Amino acid sequence: MQHEIIVAGFGGQGVLLTGQLLAYAGLLEGKQVAWVPSYGPEMRGGTANCSVIISDRSIGSPLVDEPGAALVFNQPSLEKFEKHIRNRGLLLINSSTVDTRGVKRKDLQVHHIPANEIAARLGNDRVANMVMLGAYLELTGVVSIDSVLAALAKVLPVNKHSLLTVNRKAAEAGALSVHHPLAAEL
């Protein structure tokens, strides 16, 4: 099985890190991976996206033209990437920052994830990307949350390892939100 994903939003929303964590987790699980970042000249606040491929077989090309899933963190990303998602693909929208009424396609599996609100309830606004990632992992099972957190432990400096707990809670709350958006409040 091959998973092709686009993660897109503004710089500073953890978009590139989300893609990296997916790729690193895939490597930790012995899968083939590709990660290709793309961002504007202005890092924080500018546009950023990345494509990730995770596969159990060799990957022919790292380019993703028609992803099976997109995680969108802002309105411009919805407008740019919705049209490219494969028929019956997944569209995960951070409904905290995106007007979900703007979804045009009816052939997609759309999930509205209030990632910023969930992150705020956890006490750290910066883990909204992990909420989105947890939701995606719950829907696909492409890699485990444990593998993502092991990858995060490798990229975080040791003095930031105290953030691993809130990141786990964020991923788990994102997974719960797929089944019931209010479940993350419990």
Question: What class has domain 2-185?
Answer: alpha beta
**For residue 68, what are the CA distances in angstroms to 6, 65, 95, 168, 186?**
8, 10, 20, 25, 31
* Integer Cα distance of 57 and 21 in angstroms: 19
* Integer Cα distance of 94 and 9 in angstroms: 10
Q: Name which of 88, 80, 97 is nearest 132 in CA terms.
A: 97
SS3 83: helix
Q: How many CB atoms lie within 10 A of CB 181?
A: 16
pTM listed for this prediction: 0.92
SS3 8: strand
Q: Sketch the domain layout of the chain as residue ranges.
A: 2-185
Q: Name which of 145, 72, 160 is nearest 110 in CA terms.
A: 72
Per-residue tens of pLDDT for the chain, all 186 residues: 899 999 999 988 999 999 999 999 999 999 999 999 997 665 566 679 999 999 999 998 989 999 999 999 999 999 999 999 999 999 999 999 999 888 999 999 999 999 999 999 999 999 999 999 999 999 999 999 999 999 999 999 999 999 999 999 999 999 999 987 554 444
